[in-house]
Amino acid sequence: MKSTLAIYDMDRTITRRATYTPFLLHAALSLAPWRLVLVPAVLVSAMLYAIRLIDRGRLKEVNYRLLVGRGIPAERLEPVIQSFADQQVATNIMPGARASIAADRAAGRRLVMATASYRLYAAAIAQRLGFKDVIATETRLDADGRIIARIEGSNCYGDSKLAMIQAWLEREGLEREAVHIRFYSDHVSDAVVHHWSDEPVAANAHDRLLRVARAEGWEVLDWRR
């Protein structure tokens, strides 16, 4: 009998709103409120991304360094992460997503979160929602063991998300043919994972993914209503 997995994206799939910028602002307010004067520089970096002068991963690194800092000891950042996760779980989780997660758990599916968000805080949110495993964008440590803005490995987005899920399966000793995978996401960047999964679900899909889902005959769910 095959093992069954339920793999969920996080931002706008489980959460109502994206979490990355709110995390940066929460960290700035908690650690160094003066960094909020750098918000205009964050907007400039977003413009550079919009005109494709930097990629999504570099955008994350730049904004993290601006609002969180060059290097933060893990013990100093941990209470910031925990308070942010508490806030998100209290205010930013769609009830329909909670119900779906509970149903998958009750059906015996192993819960996995696969998100482009930093593991730093995504893992804390996932743990509160009952996820067993998290696949996410990793951060580096400097020579002093402080958390820095640089991404370790790949940004967990698009094709890289699929590669990271496949690498996780290998580390867990799970052969693709031996598992049945149900995958939930709101964004067309994850269509490569939808196609690879056994049960693709377009959850809270934006227009581009909705068109793909309807053409492919995928299940469509809307937890925003």
60-80, pLDDT tens digit by residue? 999 999 999 989 999 999 999
Residues in the chain with pLDDT values less than 70: none
Residue 51 lies in a domain: no
What's the pLDDT at 225? 79
What's the pLDDT at 30? 97
Residue 26 lies in a domain: no
Contacts of residue 120, Cβ cutoff 8 Å, sequence gap at least 6: 23, 77, 81, 139, 147
Question: Which residue in 110, 114, 117 sits closest to 132, CA to CA?
Answer: 110
Residue 107 lies in a domain: yes
Q: How many domains, the chain?
A: 1
The 8-class DSSP code of residue 145 comes to: S
140: domain CATH number is: 3.40.50.1000
Q: Considering the entire predicted model, what is its pTM?
A: 0.95
Residue 164 lies in a domain: yes
What's the pLDDT at 138? 97
Question: Which residue in 48, 75, 67 sits closest to 147, CA to CA?
Answer: 75
163 CB-contact burial (10 Å; exposed 0-12 / middle 13-18 / buried 19+): middle
Residue 172 lies in a domain: yes
Residue 102 lies in a domain: yes
Provide the 3-class DSSP secondary structure of residue 83: helix
Which residue range is the domain that position 208 belongs to? 3-18+77-221
Residue 10 lies in a domain: yes
